Amino acid sequence: MTEKRLVIRPNKYNGATSVTSMRLPKDMLTAVDAVAAETGKTRNEILLLSIEFALDNMQIEKND
């Protein structure tokens, strides 16, 4: 049997926060809220995790 471990990682982004506003398609917001409800996280936490993932994994293609 594998040993159970509680792994706690520090937040990548911390410090002062800033309030921002954005428009999302209603069906996308519904999907975000469904994930939040299923995971017990807030909408804000799901959006922060999603944006962090996107920033870490995006590829920017330059127009030549």
Task: Name the band, by pLDDT with cuts 50, 70 and 90, for residue 13.
Answer: confident
- Residues 16 and 8: their CA atoms lie apart, in Å, by 21
What is the average pLDDT score of the chain? 92
Cα–Cα distance for residue pair 28/60, rounded to 1 Å: 23
| Contact present, 27 and 17 (Cβ < 8 Å) | no
Range of the domain at 48: 26-57
Q: Residue 42 domain-assigned?
A: yes
Q: Which residue has the higher pLDDT, 7 or 60?
A: 60
pLDDT tens for 35-56 read 999 999 999 999 999 999 999 9
**Looking at the chain, how many residues does it have?**
64
3 found inside a domain: no
E-strand spans in the chain?
Answer: none
Is 19 within a domain? no
Instruction: Say if residues 43 and 33 touch (Cβ distance below 8 Å).
Output: yes
- Domain assignment present for 32: yes
Q: What is the pLDDT of residue 15?
A: 87
